[in-house]
């Protein structure tokens, strides 16, 4: 990046020094923040006609930031979540500038006052237990790639990990020599969690590792899942694998496989299935690596089946039995008096 302008100078320092060394932010987050500023620079060039070589901190103001956020939605077709994420990246940079360029503090606080947009909370998109079984039955484990694909999809579902967490796994992440079998997952914010792995999953993983010769000591730091070049898979690559087998499963039983399915759908599916099996929300939170229980509660709110069954268990019959005679019919004196009215 050209560092002749003050914007380039501070942005370079923010991305290359402040985030990784002072804040200990993960490389994935830094890459996402970098992409946000690439979009902002492109916006300033194409809409405001300010080239990156002439882009200064004076152009970083509330009006331009709001216009950029609106452009993301109106012109780029981004959703509210993406818009809010780009705003979070800008807020992070502006918070950094508050201490580096104190003389513009009023402008920085003005930008920090921009609020995230509220979005409708959609129910998690997940597959039923039968849907997961159908999906995992599609890869041919006799095929060289088929076994690898089954190991990827099954592990992503079984551990409830995010797709980036799956990509970042190394051979050394596994503890499958003896029971209890576990896997070490590096989550958001460099947080590590230990997730148990069931025996059936271990069988698949061991077959995969034997076939791809990943059992040697010199492979400990090697990506657990890699492409033809020996590099770890990309998010797009994993999404392609999922789509391939989802399309195959949909041809067999369309009702079990949603039209829209993503890698996150497997994570949602695992959480919902655990909840429906009666697993405590606290344990589900720990498995998924959520920071707060409020994030995990979305699955409890979305589980209409569990709600219905709970209501049925708690139901008390308050309605009258229509097959029973009304109380007034049991009162013979009243009944005779009413019949007498008819004679008159």
264 belongs to the catalytic site? yes
**244 C-beta neighbours (distance < 10 Å), count:** 13
Backbone angles phi, psi at 263, to 5 degrees: -60, -35
Asked if 185 and 195 touch (Cβ cutoff 8 Å), the reply is: yes
Q: Check whether 243 has a pLDDT greater than 60.
A: yes
Please state which CATH number belongs to domain 6-112.
1.10.150
Instruction: Give the residue carrying structure tokens 């590792």.
Output: 209
From 188, 193, 206, 232, active-site residue: 188
CATH architecture observed for domain 129-307: Orthogonal Bundle (1.10)
Q: Where are the domains of the chain?
A: 6-112, 129-307
273 belongs to the catalytic site? no
From 267, 268, 270, 273, active-site residue: 267
Q: Check whether 308 has a pLDDT greater than 80.
A: no
Q: Check whether 297 has a pLDDT greater than 80.
A: no
290 belongs to the catalytic site? yes
Q: Check whether 326 has a pLDDT greater than 60.
A: no
With CA atoms as reference, report the closest residue to 42 among 4, 76, 73, 74. Answer: 76
With CA atoms as reference, report the closest residue to 285 among 174, 169, 275. Answer: 275
The band of 327, judged by pLDDT with boundaries at 50, 70 and 90, is low
What integer pLDDT is reported at residue 228 of this predicted model?
84
Alpha-helical segments (H) within the chain: 6-13, 27-46, 62-74, 80-100, 105-112, 129-136, 144-159, 163-167, 199-211, 235-252, 263-276, 281-288, 293-302, 304-314, 327-330, 332-343
Q: What is the CA radius of gyration of the chain?
A: 29
Q: Check whether 62 has a pLDDT greater than 90.
A: yes
Mean pLDDT of the chain: 86
Q: Which residues, at least 6 apart from 69, have a Cβ–Cβ distance to it below 8 Å?
A: 83, 86, 87, 114
Tell me, rounded to whole angstroms, the distance of Cα 219 from its chain centroid: 30
DSSP state of 61: S
What integer pLDDT is reported at residue 67 of this predicted model?
96
Burial annotation 331-342 (CB, 10 A radius, 16+ → b, else e): eeeeeeeeeeee
Q: Kindly state the percentage of the chain with pLDDT values over 90.
A: 57
More confident residue, 238 or 294: 238
Mean pLDDT score, 112-134:
86
Q: How many residues does the chain have?
A: 344
Beta-bridge partners for 185:
193
User: Could you report the per-residue pLDDT of 201-222, keeping only the tens digit for each?
Assistant: 899 999 999 998 888 778 888 9
Cα torsion 157, 162, 164, 170 to 10°: value is: -50
191 belongs to the catalytic site? no
By DSSP bridging, strand 174-175 and strand 192-196 are unpaired
162 belongs to the catalytic site? yes
User: Could you report the per-residue pLDDT of 31-40, keeping only the tens digit for each?
Assistant: 999 999 999 9
Mean pLDDT score, 143-161:
93
Q: Which residues, at least 6 apart from 71, have a Cβ–Cβ distance to it below 8 Å?
A: 43, 47
From 104, 149, 162, 285, active-site residue: 162
5-9, 249-253, 309-313: least confidently modelled range: 309-313
- For 225, the token pair is 């899942």
Mean pLDDT score, 215-241:
88
User: Could you report the per-residue pLDDT of 178-195, keeping only the tens digit for each?
Assistant: 888 899 998 877 788 999
Asked if 286 and 192 touch (Cβ cutoff 8 Å), the reply is: no
Cis before 180 (ω within 30): yes
Mean pLDDT score, 121-150:
89
């Amino acid at each position: 990046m050209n560092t002749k302008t003050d914007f380039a100078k501070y942005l370079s320092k923010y991305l290359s020094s402040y985030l990784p060394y002072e804040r200990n932010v993960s490389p994935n987050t830094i890459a996402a923040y970098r992409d946000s500023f690439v979009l902002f620079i492109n916006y300033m060039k194409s809409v405001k006609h300010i080239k990156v070589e002439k882009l200064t901190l004076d152009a970083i103001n509330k009006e331009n930031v709001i216009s950029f956020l609106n452009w993301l939605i109106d012109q780029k077709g981004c959703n509210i979540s993406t818009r809010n994420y780009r705003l979070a990246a800008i807020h992070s940079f502006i918070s950094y500038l508050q201490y580096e360029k104190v003389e513009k503090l009023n402008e920085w606080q003005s930008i920090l006052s921009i609020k995230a947009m509220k979005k409708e909370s959609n129910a998690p998109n997940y597959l039923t237990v039968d849907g997961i079984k159908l999906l995992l039955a599609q890869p041919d484990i006799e095929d060289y790639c088929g076994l690898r694909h089954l190991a990827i999809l099954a592990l992503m579902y079984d551990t409830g990990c995010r797709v980036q967490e799956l990509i970042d796994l190394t051979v050394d992440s596994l503890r499958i020599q003896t029971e209890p079998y576990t896997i070490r997952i590096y989550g958001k914010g460099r947080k590590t969690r230990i997730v148990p792995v069931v025996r059936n999953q271990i069988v698949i993983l061991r077959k995969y590792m034997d076939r791809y010769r990943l059992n040697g000591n010199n492979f400990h730091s090697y990506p657990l899942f890699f492409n033809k070049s020996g590099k770890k898979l990309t998010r797009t690559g994993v999404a392609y694998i999922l789509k391939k087998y989802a399309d195959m499963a949909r041809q067999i039983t369309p009702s079990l496989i949603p039209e829209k399915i993503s890698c996150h759908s497997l994570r949602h599916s695992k959480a919902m299935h655990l909840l429906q099996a009666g697993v405590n929300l606290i344990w589900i939170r720990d498995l998924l690596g959520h920071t707060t229980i409020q994030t995990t509660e979305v699955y409890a709110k979305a589980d209409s089946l569990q709600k219905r069954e709970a209501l049925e268990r708690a139901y008390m019959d308050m309605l009258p039995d229509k097959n029973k005679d009304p109380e007034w019919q049991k009162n013979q004196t009243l009944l005779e008096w009413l019949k007498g009215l008819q004679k008159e």
